[in-house]
Structure 1
Amino acid sequence: MQQEWPSPAKLNLFLYITGQRTDGYHNLQTLFQFIDYCDYLNFEPRQDQVVFLKTEFNDVKHDDNLIIKAANLLINYVKRQYPNFIVPYGVTISIDKKLPMGGGLGGGSSNAATTLVALNHLWQLQLSKEQLMSIGSKIGADVPIFIFGHSAFAQGVGDDLVAIDVPEKWYLVIKPDVNIATAKIFTTPTLKRDTVTRTISELLELPFANDCENTVRELYPEIDHLISLMASQAPTRLTGTGSCIFCECDSEQHAHSLQLFLQQQYDSAAKITSFIAQGINCSPLSKTVNH
């Protein structure tokens, strides 16, 4: 039985907002790529039918955690399909947390997606990828990409996905001591919401950008300073609505040199963390399922 499952991060290599919908959501065009930096979720069987999350993070109530929400949505979905369905066995889920919270890397959404994919496999439910993505979309707009499992061009609210291979570059990912609520950025009046809709071919020919970046830099001077600093060394952008930024590197060695440069600019009191990762087109979660 596969007990430990990867829960990878994603980067938005570009992110454009092409309009606001009547339901309050925004229409986007974005390019998702995974990186080889993951949380790991462990699923330990238990004798009852309970799904329990064992975690050291106490800032979210147990039943409000996206992992538990995902499990409950999965159970309820299967029960609607098969009214006599009984969970074959319960699980205790624990998490080895590597991804910074509130960084725009999709950590919570990825955890929910891994839960859906793992339980579908462990309980032998045989739900399709499309069914799991539909369940995941009820948790958050970023959940489907992690179930989709491949770098993708996304439109709509980010769930209309087309697989695409992009160069698997090395990145230095930096997390300043700032947490950003996505809702705050998308409700800021000055946010750019009128980027012209283009084809993926056109977008790949243009310099990549993030329409949320200017707003985030206006609201958070420390991020503005950090992007300006690192952009003097390598192409640097915000991912999602932040707060993580990423620098494109020519090689792993280049990433290490940028990390050293960053460390020389800030003392330990700044609480800026960073890690080096490689972009990957096929998600580690998909590789686990297909192993």
Structure 2
Amino acid sequence: MTLSLTRCPAPAKLNLFLHVNGRRPDGYHILQSVFQLIDRCDYLDAEVTNDGLIRRSNDIPGVPEDSDLIIRAARLLQQHTGCERGALLTLHKSLPMGGGLGGGSSDAATTLMALNHLWNTGLNQQQLMQLGLQLGADVPFFLFGQNAFAEGIGEELQPVETPECWYVVVEPGVHVPTPAIFGAPQLTRDTKPVKITDFPADEFVKWKNDLQSVACLLYPEVDKAIQWLSQFGSAKMTGSGACVFCAVSDESEADKIIEKHEGQWKLWKAKSLRIHPMMKKLQAKD
């Protein structure tokens, strides 16, 4: 019998705010953020093989197999645990690359969760999070599995309650490379740290994305998207860009905003999540 898991969800995240508080000697930035899971997902199919090889069954434009985070995640888990099994992986992408939605990191986290289950490698959540950090600063959040107040380089996580709502997300059609934003001379790195207990009370803090002004300067299309979406609420960029989002109270309001757009951007709606859907999927398998 073939061991496999299909339609494993890799959800997007939104940064409800993102403050840059400083920079470490190794070049990593010290951040604070709230990560919000949403129900827009990539999907992974994973099939166990007995040849020890890690392969991808489909082409993904612009992502060579050896540099794909799902392949790197699978090989890292295999090496770390000494597992002799292999895997054939198929990734169904819908999240844009360079969009600030954490797509690649989420794909890697779902790969680790799926193969830890299929290979029966037995790592607990904390061990998976430590492993995931080797792949990227956002990977531990997706393995954490719930909305989080993040500090450090994004790996220090505490659970946080976030509003239940819908979001309208705009893809401005530009790819924003993270190093270009963090390396920009215009970036300020001195926002005063906040406390988790301040969130989301507006009277204490202006909840902003410190990377947004730099992205708007370097990529004017991001600025245009923010200006347009600001007609309907408090619009801001997620992550290092390029996607822009606005919270709305219900699905019908999201539909109305999307209908009003007549340009070239891609718009979609998403619902807030409390728990990573892959965790529910694995619980149902146990």
Q: TM class, shorter-chain normalised?
A: over 0.9
Residues 4 and 47, structure 2, Cα contact 8 Å, conserved in 1: no
Could you list the runs of 5+ residues in structure 2 that have no partner in the other structure?
none
Is residue 288 of structure 1 aligned with residue 281 of structure 2? yes
Alignment-mate amino acid for residue 127 of structure 1: L
**Aligned twin of 1:174:** 170
**Aligned twin of 1:255:** 254
**Aligned twin of 1:120:** 116
**Aligned twin of 1:82:** none
> In the TM superposition, what is the alpha-carbon distance from 1:280 to its structure 2 partner?
0.8
**Aligned twin of 1:35:** 38
Q: Secondary structure at the match of 2:239?
A: coil
Residues 4 and 48, structure 2, Cα contact 8 Å, conserved in 1: no
* Structure 2 CA distance for aligned equivalents of residues 232 and 58 of structure 1: 35
* Structure 1 CA distance for aligned equivalents of residues 77 and 121 of structure 2: 10
* Structure 2 CA distance for aligned equivalents of residues 259 and 21 of structure 1: 41
> In the TM superposition, what is the alpha-carbon distance from 1:60 to its structure 2 partner?
2.3
Q: Secondary structure at the match of 1:198?
A: coil
Alignment-mate amino acid for residue 119 of structure 2: W
> In the TM superposition, what is the alpha-carbon distance from 1:51 to its structure 2 partner?
1.4
* Structure 2 CA distance for aligned equivalents of residues 16 and 58 of structure 1: 32
> In the TM superposition, what is the alpha-carbon distance from 1:204 to its structure 2 partner?
2.0
> In the TM superposition, what is the alpha-carbon distance from 1:138 to its structure 2 partner?
0.3
Q: Secondary structure at the match of 1:204?
A: coil
> In the TM superposition, what is the alpha-carbon distance from 1:196 to its structure 2 partner?
0.3
Aligned residues: 278
Is residue 63 of structure 1 aligned with residue 66 of structure 2? yes
* Structure 1 CA distance for aligned equivalents of residues 227 and 234 of structure 2: 10
Alignment-mate amino acid for residue 86 of structure 1: E
**Aligned twin of 1:235:** 234
Q: Secondary structure at the match of 2:174?
A: coil
Identical residues among aligned pairs (%):
41
CA RMSD, Structure 1 to Structure 2 (Å):
1.3
**Aligned twin of 2:95:** 99
Q: Secondary structure at the match of 2:272?
A: strand
TM-score by length of 1: 0.92
TM-score by length of 2: 0.94
Residue among 127, 133, 142 paired with 1:131: 127
- After TM superposition, the structure 1 = structure 2 runs for residues 6-85 of structure 1, keeping only pairs within 5 Å, are 6-79=9-82, 85=83
Could you list the runs of 5+ residues in structure 1 that have no partner in the other structure?
80-84
**Aligned twin of 1:3:** 5
* Structure 1 CA distance for aligned equivalents of residues 4 and 167 of structure 2: 30
- Deviates further, 203-212 or 136-145: 203-212
Q: Secondary structure at the match of 2:167?
A: strand
**Aligned twin of 1:141:** 137
* Structure 1 CA distance for aligned equivalents of residues 267 and 276 of structure 2: 21
Q: Secondary structure at the match of 1:161?
A: strand
